[in-house]
Each structure stands twice: as C-alpha cells, then as structure tokens.
Structure 1
Amino acid sequence: MSSQDFADRLRARRPAVGYWVILDAPAATERIAGVGYDYVVLDAQHGLLSTRGILDGLIAIDAADGATVGMVRVEANNATPIGRALDAGAAGVIVPLIDTAEDAAQAVRAARYPPSGIRSYGPTRSGLRIGPTPAEANAATVVLAMIETRAGLDNVAEICATPGLDGIYVGPSDLCLAVGGKFPGDPDVAERFDEAIALIARVAADAGVAAGIHTQSGEMARQRLAEGYTYATVSSDLDHLRGVAAAHLATVRE
C-alpha cells in the first residue's frame, strides 16, 4: 500500500488494523510488518527507539512486503520531531497530548509544507515514497491527534474540526486517568471511560474524520471497529514477547 493509498483509506474512513512497535529491533519489526497489518506504528514517545531506531524501523517496514505503511508516534507536538519522522519516511505521524484545536492546528502545520504548513523542505528518505513535489507530499501525509487528556476530551469536537487533520487517536491508558481512574483500566471508572470512548467515536464520525484507538488484543480491536472506530492498533511487540514467553513457561511447569 502506498502512503497516498493509506491516506485515502483513512480519509474515506475505511477500516484499518495496525500494530505497535516499542523495541529497537529492525529484524523483528520487518517480520511483524510482513504479517499483513495495514500499518505499523513506531513509538518514539514511550518506546525504546532513537532517531536511528526510527529510521531503521521504517526501512524494515518498507522491506517487508510493501503492503504495510510505517507511522511514527512522535515524542511531542513540535516541528522538529515531526519533521524528522516524516523525513525518515513515515507515512504519517501520531501526535500526543493534544488538548485544543490550536494544538491540533500546530501539529498539522508542522507536518505540511508551505503554504499549508511550516515543514522545512528536506525530504531525504521520504522522497523515495512520497512526493516529489511539496503538494504531493502534503496530500500523502497523515496527521493524527491523540485524545488522551481531560482537556482533549472536553475539546474533542473542536479538535476534530481542525482543517487538515486526518483523524484522532485515543490513548486509553491516559484517557482512563483523565476520567478519574487511579490507574489504567481502573474498573471503578469503567462506565465513564466507556462513555468517553463512545463519545469520541461519535464526534469524529460527525466531523467526517477517522477515529482510531489503541487496544490490547485482536478481540478488543474488532470490538472497537464494530463500535464505530475507523482504525485500531493491536497491543505491542514488547507485550506480546512477554506474554508468549510466559505462556510457554507456564505450559512447561504444568
């Protein structure tokens, strides 16, 4: 799938399923990208990835089979990490901690070349897949804003209405804390959390933008898609590595 095809898919709100990568292990990332996910996200905020790790991870995704695109969850809503991820070849960025429509507009500007934005022209590796003109690059680049704070939830309608924003992405761990949870997954706020999840999906649909969410399993990803989310990401390499290793150990010890 080309970057433009992926952008068109999200903008048309056609379902997509992705995977989350935390580890700086290009060979493993390449293997995961070959499974058949629509996109693989490299986590530059909480993941164990340096700038070189992001580059190597994107190369690994491209090397897999060409059907999966690489995305980057950048470390902050700032033009430098956003531009660096896109220059390295990301099909788009997921920008954390978006509280307001102005925050979302700032992220959009950082990811777009003039006159639509402020991105400096230096495509380096991204020029292999996106462009070559700035207008073509803008059209093929996806910008997603994370909804994960109390302010972001309160302002989700205004955020979704931001010109140039392709969609939103729910960070469920932080969102659970934002609605009063003592820890991610706190059962005491399950009802409030579920209401927030449903609200975000409705607001995004009304605005005509894609709503995405991180999930812990294929079952939960399927549920969220059925509930109206456009795209869902499944767990992460580190969680699956530990889970499978623990399951095998338990089997042996039984």
Structure 2
Amino acid sequence: MNNFASRLRARESLVGYWVVLDSPPSTERIASVGYDYVVLDGQHGLLSTRGILDGLLAIDAAAGSTVGLVRVEANNATPIGRALDAGATGVIVPLIDTAEDAAYAVRAAKYPPSGIRSFGPTRAGQRIGPVPAESDATTVVLAMIETASALANVEAICATPGLDGIYVGPSDLCLAIGGKFPGDPDVAEPFEAAIKRIAQAAAAAGVAAGIHTNDGPSAKRRLSEGYSYATVSSDIDHLHQVAADHLGVVRG
C-alpha cells in the first residue's frame, strides 16, 4: 500500500507535477520520472471523467511510487466521490472560502460515520481494499487557498478536523489581493506576505502546505520557505516552452 498519505501528513518534502492534457501515454511518461505525485486537473484541464480515469491508470502503469491526485471541478460530493472511486489517492478542492467549506470537502471524501461519501469504490477498491476505514486512512483531502475570503479565513480552514493540507493557487490568489494579472509585480510584496501567512497557518495547525509553481527553482524555493509540497508547472506549459526553445535555436 502506498504511504503517500502518511508522508504528506508528516509534512515530508514532496514534489509533484500538473497534468491538463488528456494524453495517457504522456502522463505515464511523466509519472515514470519520479515525482511523488501527479495532479490531474479536473477543473481547468482538458479532462473528462473518462480522461481522469485514463490518467490515473497511466500513472499506476508507470509502476513507480508516484501517486495520482485530482483537482476536482468543484466542492461537491459527486466529483469528489468520482475521483476517489476512480483510484485517486487524494483530491484538491478548489474555491474553499471558509472552514465550513473545508469541512464539507472532508465529509464528501470520507465514508460514514465521519463523512457522506457513498460506498462504491469501483476501481479504488482494487487498490486499497474495500474497507471504508482503510480508504479514509490512505486518501487525502487538500483545500485550495486562492480567494480573498480563503486568505482571511486561512487559520480556521487549516484547523478543520480531517483536512490533510492546503494548496495555494497563486494565479487566483494574486488576483484576489488586487493584482491586475497573475504574477503582477505591483502586488509582489503583499503576495509574498500572503504566501508566508498561509505557510505559517498550516504549520500552526500541523497540516501540509502546498503550492503551485512555474518551475523547479521556484518549487525548491517554496519548499525552503516552509511549504512541505510543491508542484512544478504543467504538461501543456512545458510542451509549449520546449517547442519554442528548439525553434528559437534552429532559427537563431
């Protein structure tokens, strides 16, 4: 049984990757590199329910220790349950504004008596066993911090019982604090202050703090600043970047 959940809860340093393309062969190749986790983006990615299933199959087919997480489309029991039934090791839940939102996400991901998840593990039952308590123990729930309300309530969100960690969406967070666009240098100082506050809130609550980054150096920096897990860029961004770099070399 994969020990990702226990490693994340122990706030070990973990590095992941982000997938938005419905391309199982490339997802399998990425999973074979050695990342601790690969996230399939069910909110902004180009992945249907079948695409998420195929992506999780591809990650497992890589036959390494990499696990598949899913950023679900909404804080709703249906997509959360579908992702976990399909075999996701955990869910990242977007647009969490309050501790009450986070508590609902936890309940949606857990079986009774602690949650409301309907029993029907489908593929997940082949991976971690059909016992609800085992599933609850080996899957993780992560709440996104990406809105002004989430930032204002971050300490309460992090203290939500059963929540394993938080995950910073830097693009939306930048807009939430007044940026005109993601990465707006005019709000660099308050943005960094927010990033620091979020990490401190997670540490105080004893939960994992994660963040999305644009590249390896940025991920390494955030890990050194108190974040326990960080995701590096995405498949579509790297595809564009590498193709453009090679074209630039050829054309001088």
- One fold, TM greater than 0.5? yes
Equivalent in 40, 58, 62 of residue 64 of structure 1: 62
What amino acid is aligned across from residue 134 of structure 2 in structure 1? E
Q: CA separation in 2, counterparts of 1:110 and 1:189?
A: 35
- Tell me by how many angstroms 1:198 deviates: 0.5
Q: CA separation in 2, counterparts of 1:89 and 1:7?
A: 14
Q: How does 1:29-108 map to 2 (within 5 A)?
A: 29-108=27-106
Aligned length: 252
Q: CA separation in 1, counterparts of 2:122 and 2:33?
A: 28
Whether contact under 8 Å (2:19, 2:40) holds in the other structure is yes
- Tell me by how many angstroms 1:128 deviates: 1.6
The residue number in structure 2 matching 1:245 is 243
What amino acid is aligned across from residue 241 of structure 1 in structure 2? L
Equivalent in 182, 185, 202 of residue 183 of structure 2: 185
Equivalent in 94, 108, 111 of residue 109 of structure 2: 111
What amino acid is aligned across from residue 205 of structure 1 in structure 2? A
Look up the SS of the partner of 2:163 in the other structure: coil
Look up the SS of the partner of 1:144 in the other structure: strand
- Tell me by how many angstroms 1:65 deviates: 1.9
Look up the SS of the partner of 1:212 in the other structure: strand
Equivalent in 14, 17, 36 of residue 16 of structure 1: 14
Unaligned runs of 5+ in 1: none
| 1:153 maps to 2:141 | no
Whether contact under 8 Å (2:34, 2:64) holds in the other structure is no
Residue deviations 1:85-115 (CA, integer Å, cap 9, x gap): 0000000000000000000000000000000
Look up the SS of the partner of 1:57 in the other structure: helix
What amino acid is aligned across from residue 43 of structure 1 in structure 2? D
Q: CA separation in 1, counterparts of 2:248 and 2:152?
A: 44
Look up the SS of the partner of 1:124 in the other structure: coil
What root-mean-square deviation, in Å, do the aligned CA atoms of Structure 1 and Structure 2 show? 0.6
- Tell me by how many angstroms 1:132 deviates: 2.4
The residue number in structure 2 matching 1:171 is 169
Q: CA separation in 2, counterparts of 1:211 and 1:131?
A: 28
Structure 1 ranges of 4+ moved more than 6 A: none
Q: CA separation in 2, counterparts of 1:143 and 1:131?
A: 19
Q: How does 1:204-215 map to 2 (within 5 A)?
A: 204-215=202-213
The residue number in structure 2 matching 1:162 is 160
Identity over aligned pairs, percent: 77
The residue number in structure 2 matching 1:231 is 229
The residue number in structure 1 matching 2:135 is 137
What amino acid is aligned across from residue 114 of structure 1 in structure 2? P
- Tell me by how many angstroms 1:186 deviates: 0.3
Look up the SS of the partner of 1:129 in the other structure: helix
Unaligned runs of 5+ in 2: none
Which deviates further from its counterpart, 89-98 or 132-141? 132-141
Look up the SS of the partner of 1:10 in the other structure: helix
TM-score (norm 2): 0.99
Residue deviations 1:46-86 (CA, integer Å, cap 9, x gap): 00000000000000000002310000000000000000000
